[in-house]
Structure formats: structure tokens, C-alpha cells
Amino acid sequence: MTNTQLVNRVDHIVLTVNDIERTMLFYEQALGMERESFFGSEGQRRHALRFGDQKINLHDRATETPTKAHAPTCGSADFCLIAAVSLERVIANLKARQIPIEAGPVSRQGALGALRSVYFRDPDRNLVEVAEYV
């Protein structure tokens, strides 16, 4: 087999959270994400946060699905999102909502090159990085 890539992008990630409503409200306010509700293949009501062409699906501890992480743990995620606006605007919004910035702006390396990033934590203490390419 050759080294041909078999995938080309992330469609969604899944966060296991303590309180779905609290998490949806946080991401709506902090980053302008949009709520989405749907029914999973098992017939259970599911929740997600949509942004751009991607989304974050949310599970709480009671979510039953055969396609769940082996050991889902609240607060174990660490991920980077690319800003749709200037990083200064993201920082201003976080400060206005009294969301503490843990680090940044700092220089980092992303999938497509140099980034300028800020880091903060969501209600479950997941580490969220928001960045812009420089």
C-alpha cells in the first residue's frame, strides 16, 4: 500500500460533559456556536454545537450508544479551533464574558503553518485553543 492519505478533514469531535445545557450555553456565548439537536440511530435525543462545516457532538454520562469512546472522561479534551474573526475579537469576547485566558496570545504551529493562539477552559475543564494563522 502507498502512503496515500485516506482521510482529508475532521467532521466532528465528541466531548463527554457533565451538563449538556451548561456546555451548549458556554460555547454559544464564548465562540458563537449554534445548538443542534437530533435523534441518533438508537432513537436517543442527541446534542451538538455547530460552527462552520464542523460540529462538536456532546455526550453526558447517561448517553447510551455503541459507538462511544472506551473510557470517556469529562475534561480530558485538548483541541484547537481556527477563528473566523480576528484573535483580538475572540479575546475581547472572552474577557467581556469573564472567561479567563490561561495562555496567550502565543505562537504555535498548526497543520497549515504558524499560528497565534489563546487558551481557555470550558465548564468541564477541557483545554480550548482558538487560533489564527499568521
- Are the C-beta atoms of 33 and 134 separated by less than 8 Å? no
Residue 81 CB neighbour total at 10 angstroms: 18
- From 34, 64, 129, 132, the catalytic residue: 129
CA distances (Å), origin 8, targets 5, 51, 80, 83, 109: 7, 18, 17, 20, 19
Q: What angle do CA 26, 51, 128 make, to 5 degrees?
A: 50
Is 129 a catalytic site residue? yes
Query: What DSSP character marks residue 113?
Result: E
Residues carrying an active site annotation? 129
